[in-house]
Chains A and B, each alone.
Chain A
Amino acid sequence: MITNKEDLIKIRDAYAGKIAFRQHGTEKVSDGKVEKHVLICGGTGCTSSKSVQIKEKMEALIKEAGIEEKVQVVLTGCFGLCALGPIVIVYPEGTFYSRIELDNVEEIVKEHLVNGNPVKKYLYSETVKGDEILSLNDTAFYKKQKRVALRNCGVIDPHCINEYIGTNGYLALAKVVTEMTPDEVIKEILDSGIRGRGGGGFPTGRKWQFAAAQPKGQKYVVCNGDEGDPGAFMDRSILEGDPHALIEAMAIAGYAIGANEGYVYVRAEYPIAVNRLQNAIDDARKEGLLGKNIFGTDFEFDMQIRLGAGAFVCGEETALLTSIEGNRGEPRPRPPFPAVKGLWGKPTIINNVETYANIPQIILKGAAWFNSMGTEKSKGTKVFALGGKITNTGLVEIPMGTTLREVVEEIGGGIPNGKKFKAAQTGGPSGGCIPASKYDVEIDYDNLIAQGSMMGSGGLIVMDEDTCMVDLAKFFLEFTVDESCGKCAPCRIGTVRLLEILNKITEGNGEMEDLDKLEELANYIKSASLCGLGQTAPNPVLSTLANFRDEYIAHIVDKKCPAGVCKNLFTYKIDLDKCMGCGLCAKQCPADAISRTDYVAEGHKLASMQIDATKCVKCGACLPSCKKFQAIYKG
């Protein structure tokens, strides 16, 4: 049991060295015995490619080799570079093994852990520069990042409360309850300028202030962990990699607004996150960091997890509350705002996971430290999930104000296959596209909104010239149509009608009036919908219309899909002069649409093949068979 700050500091001091060793690889390990730390990513991505089995095998082999006293193996949270998983990092060197398979483990143990020679062939290629081996922290992917919310992900064992304490964990809570008044806490959060990381970017401190100003009585602190944007998974990573940071932050929020109960609403699709968070809550209770008399004061706070059941709309705060209350996750009108009338009608604050993960740092390092990062109106850092046509897919945390170009070209490693950047989509189905002409936009809340997009929860999908922007808008709209709750008419009916118009256009039946209708309807849905889902659902349509209107026109007037995506608007053709006549393509064709011509190209032995457009179902099955000759093309 930890009953006062001194208890906490004792533990911190016992573990701090260990953590520092992993962060820098230079400082001495406090217990002196352990010489190497092997960090294996236990995030969802790496777990699904067997990182847990890798850890078990490694531990067994280490024992066999008799070096278990010298090597500590830790299953951590996500490192961020999910495309390269499973990831294994060895300290003090910081060597970075990527895409490790079970069969590689023996060699790594023998050569690296026993003999001290990193196995180069398994290392991430970017970290091998001739004879020199770079540390993870020296890669372009990590160098430009500033990890605040993700600071412990991939560093500590999320199952070990002491490791968290070793990173100054729970020190902010101790400081708050023993040295600060609730008003001082709120002032610190207000001064930091932090805004909600989950969507709209409302100032967090103001939310807290509203809730604190409500008459004393039952109040609630809620965490929105219903991360639903396709491709965004920063909240999951924090829950998996640093669950105690969330617990600490929610307790701080409880102290600030006068609440003693917290709820974390997590997607049921995140079993690992739920498990680690539950463990962390149990451990925090055991240590007296949740419950009554926290740090020997009168302050009490406890929390529980509620699981979502597959409804994107529950990421909207009022829908989330209705869902916690056990109902259909339908949003409620605001006002009254949750800070006044929230969960079960009581004052409630709702922040998302990433927002909370920043709170303890703000308390410990001060508002001034936090607001020294970022732009004028967007302070601190933001986590983005990079996806789409980009080399380094994964999670990155950057200071607000970093340009899109830096994120894509430097941190993200650029666009693969020499293709050109066309646009980046932020904010998921609620967001919009930033075209190449705005490549140098500094990413913050207001700049993204000015571009007709939004921060959202931080999905960032990169598109190259092969992406059809009409099809992209359709993709996101299909998602919102599926996820609309059906309560209010504009979103329920309007998004379906929008999608029907987009379908008409991509099928080649569009008319120019449809563009006016799209705009009229999109603007209507934005202004009339009940909740944020509907109010932002048309953004993908509006922003692609604004930036890529010519593509819409090409679909409507020329009946062409410039990117060759919309099936009704292109045909597969075979370049007769390139075709070697091997006939492999015909074997792949499910529709018997490919036959041999009697034309033999110059220098070829066999007659070329041709595609009967009336039979072709445009499945694209023939394409891979012609990879070598590139004779099949879309036209």
Chain B
Amino acid sequence: MENMVNIKINDREYAVPANSTVLEAARYAGVDIPTLCYLKDINEIGACRLCLVEVKGARGLAAACVYPVNEGMEVYTNTPKIRQTRKTNLELVVSAHKKKCLTCIRSTSCELQKLCYEYGVDEDHFQGNNNAYAIDDTTPYIVRDNEKCILCRRCVAACKNMQGIGVIGANDRGFDTHIASAFEKTLDQTSCIGCGQCIVACPVGALYEKDDTAKVLAAIADPTKHVAICAAPSVRATIGECFDYEPGTDVEGKMVAAMKALGFDGVYDMNLTADLTIMEEATEFLERMKEGKNLPLITSCSPGWVKYCEHYFPEFTDNLSSCKSPQQMFGAMYKTYYAQKVGLDPKDIVFVSAIPCTAKKFEVTRDHQNAAGVCDVDVAITTRELARMIKQAGINFRALDDAKFDDPFSIGSGAGAIFGATGGVMEAALRTAAEVIEGKKLEKLEFEDVRGIEGVKKAVYKLGGKEIRVAVASGTANAKRLLNEVKAGTTKVDFIEIMACPGGCVNGGGQPTQPAVVRNNVNLRELRAKVLYTADKNLDVRKSHENSAVKKLYDEFFEKPGSHKAHEILHTSYVKRGLK
């Protein structure tokens, strides 16, 4: 039984856990106190002052987000003074904010806009001079518009406290304070990994993905182009959120229908190349185990993680699996195998991926990702961009009938489906590796030890009489911790799965933004991951090597996993970038 204290909120009595803040206690009492800067566990700084409440007997107003409750406390959250204070606060904030709300990418999902509406803010009440900042759009993935920044520092918290990276921070002081990299370097000149966690942390339109939808729309409108799209495992688990579905709703059928309605010539399931990745990676793992070389093997399907490794742990780039990511494998396979098969010139194909990730926008620009002599993937669009395209096209998403992916790339196994959650790649690989090593069917497919949203998970499995030590990390701060242990020799491990985003792709930087009130109170990662694990459970085929479409690919084209041809088309290389 938790320790409880009795407090009064707006004159009504409640018993709340003794270790809560006023903000948490108020939610318990059904009152949402507005916040802008607060993100649970990573940004508890009391800076935006929007959550001020009156606490009887306290000197001045109290910031609910950090003010602890105590026995007998009396809190008022909605007095005239509080309402006026919040209104003035918002009026000041918008006086220093670029008010391009009509066309802002975050219009209607902006937390500031919502509050201004609720509090009846006069956006011109305070007027004054503001600093001018150039928009930083130097990377292929993130755009920063500091004239919209409200200095809540949630992006800094995401980058530094959550991801352990810290390529951005607060520079200068007072009214000149702004969020940027050291020495005002543009983001492309830093060791930013492009994970996009800053974007999903931002309450306003100061951070957003580089929008590539125009490229896609232009290609669709061009009759000389064959335009195909494939959807990453976790997009179907989240895109519903952009159409007012509860987080954790699987909308695969509607998503596929919407993609078809947009006019793509082929709509495919990336779960297929997730399976293909497993075939290659499991083979690679068994080979490395045999040779005892470049172990532990570390997965390479998360491009944010790959870039992190190249910047921060260049000594581990040889340990990275040489497998391309499922996105790149799909494009490579499509522009070689499929182009040949149907008689398309790879140059006429525009291959688009729908992904939960901003780093994938960087991945498509990497070297050695051009199996057919042209880039494997032409455009990577995030879940958010896909939703925008659907809205702009006037497609009534909720009214769509479910549709199926196009053949011949419509089949993905349950193993491919769970790629989008932390531990999923490891579990998928183990299902295949175990059956290959043991030479017999697994009785139980679930590898529970590597599931779940903890930052680092470790397990040992006995396969074919041999102990296989595995570890899973999600979020680069956790990856850093794990790799430092490996470096120091305190953790001995053969196979590591790392995803750049905490929780994996379901929580990727390209996923729908959710306001702080949802992020702080709902376990988004778990809800979204559940979609994938449910899909896995309901599928007949749950192992990559049993995917008939994958088998066909090897029979018709790649011969066998790890073949010379597979290496040429499905594998890649890495560089040591070092810290910038």
Residues of A at the B interface (CB closer than 8 Å) are 311, 328, 332-333, 335-336, 481-490, 492-497, 500, 517, 520-521, 524, 527-530, 535
Give chain B's interface secondary structure class: loop
Asked whether A493 lies within 8 Å of B92 as measured between CB atoms, the reply is yes
Is B452 part of the binding interface, using a Cβ–Cβ cutoff of 8 Å?
A: no
Closest to B44 in A: A333
Other A-B pairs beyond A485-B174, A489-B89, A535-B60, 11, CB < 8 Å: A333-B63, A484-B174, A486-B174, A488-B46, A490-B89, A492-B174, A492-B175, A493-B93, A493-B175, A527-B81, A529-B49
Residues of A within 8 A of B151 (CB): 486, 489, 492
**Roughly how many angstroms separate A495 CA and B96 CA in the complex, as a whole number?**
12
Taking a contact as CB atoms under 8 Å apart, the answer to whether A486 and B170 are in contact is yes
Q: B540 on the interface (CB 8 Å rule)?
A: no
Please tell me if B25 contacts chain A, counting CB pairs below 8 Å: no
> Can you report 27 A-B residue pairs in the complex whose CB atoms are below 8 A from each other?
A333-B67, A482-B174, A483-B174, A484-B173, A486-B174, A486-B175, A486-B176, A487-B177, A488-B46, A489-B47, A489-B50, A489-B151, A490-B89, A490-B92, A492-B151, A493-B93, A493-B96, A494-B92, A497-B92, A500-B128, A500-B129, A524-B85, A527-B60, A527-B61, A528-B89, A530-B63, A535-B60
* Given A493-B92, A493-B95, A497-B126, CB of A333 within 8 Å of CB of B174: no
Query: What 9 A-B pairs come out closest when comparing CB atoms?
Result: A486-B177, A333-B46, A484-B174, A524-B88, A493-B92, A500-B128, A333-B66, A486-B174, A528-B49
| Chain A residues, Cβ within 8 Å of B66 | 333
A335 CA / B73 CA spacing, docked (Å): 14
The answer on a CB contact under 8 Å between B45 and A487 is yes
| Nearest-neighbor residue (CB-CB) of A526 within chain B | B60
Q: Decide yes or no whether B48 CB sits under 8 A from chain A.
A: yes
Within the complex, which residue of A496, A520, A530 is in contact with B47, where a contact is CB–CB below 8 Å? A530
CB distance from B70 to the nearest CB of A (A): 9
Residue in contact with A328 in the complex, picked from B49, B60, B170, CB distance below 8 Å: B170
Q: Are A489 and B92 in contact (CB under 8 A)?
A: yes
Q: Is the CB of B128 within 8 A of A496?
A: yes
A486 neighbours in B (Cβ, 8 Å):
151, 170, 172-177
Docked pose: A335 CA to B49 CA in angstroms:
15
Residues from chain B with Cβ under 8 Å of A311 in the complex? 173
Q: How far does the alpha carbon of A492 sit from the alpha carbon of B47 in the complex, in Å? A: 10
The residue from A482, A492, A521 contacting B126, defined by CB atoms under 8 A apart: A521
Q: Which of A483, A487, A496, A521 contacts B88 (CB 8 A)?
A: A521
User: Contacts A333-B63, A521-B88, A530-B46; is A489 near B150 (CB within 8 Å)?
Assistant: yes
What is the CA–CA distance of A483 and B173 in the complex, to the nearest angstrom? 8
- Interface flag for B426 (CB, 8 Å): no
Residues in B lying within 8 Å of A, measured CB to CB: 45-50, 52, 60-61, 63, 66-68, 81, 84-85, 88-89, 92-93, 95-96, 126, 128-129, 150-151, 170, 172-177
* Shortest beta-carbon distance from B172 to chain A in Å: 7
Distance, CA A335 to CA B172, complexed state (A) = 27
Report the minimum CB–CB distance from B568 to chain A (whole Å): 51
Contact flag A481-B45 (CB < 8 Å), given A328-B170, A521-B126, A535-B60: no
Contacts of B170 in A (CB 8 A): 328, 486
Which residues of A sit under 8 angstroms from B96, Cβ to Cβ?
A: 493
The docked-state distance in angstroms from the alpha carbon of A615 to that of B68 is 62
Task: Give the docked Cα–Cα distance between A481 and B126 (Å).
Answer: 17
Instruction: Find chain B residues with CB under 8 A from A489 CB.
Output: 47-50, 89, 92-93, 150-151
Residues of A within 8 A of B49 (CB): 488-490, 528-530
Question: CB distance A496 to B67 under 8 Å?
Answer: no
Contact B48 A335 (CB under 8 A): no
CB distance from A297 to the nearest CB of B (A): 37
* Residues on A with beta carbons closer than 8 Å to the beta carbon of B89: 489-490, 524, 528
Report Cα–Cα, A517/B96, bound state, in Å.
Answer: 17
A496 and B175 in contact, given A521-B126, A527-B60, A527-B85 (Cβ under 8 angstroms): yes
| Chain B residue contacts of A521, Cβ below 8 A | 88, 92, 126
Q: How far is the CA of A488 from the CA of B129 in the complex (A)?
A: 18
A484 and B60 contacting across the interface, CB-CB below 8 Å: no
Q: How far is the CB of A543 from chain B (nearest CB, A)?
A: 18
A528 contacts B173, C-beta separation under 8 Å: no
Given contacts A328-B170, A486-B172, A520-B88, contact A333 B177 (CB under 8 A): no
For B88, the closest partner residue in chain A by CB is A524
Residue of A whose beta carbon sits closest to that of B125:
A517
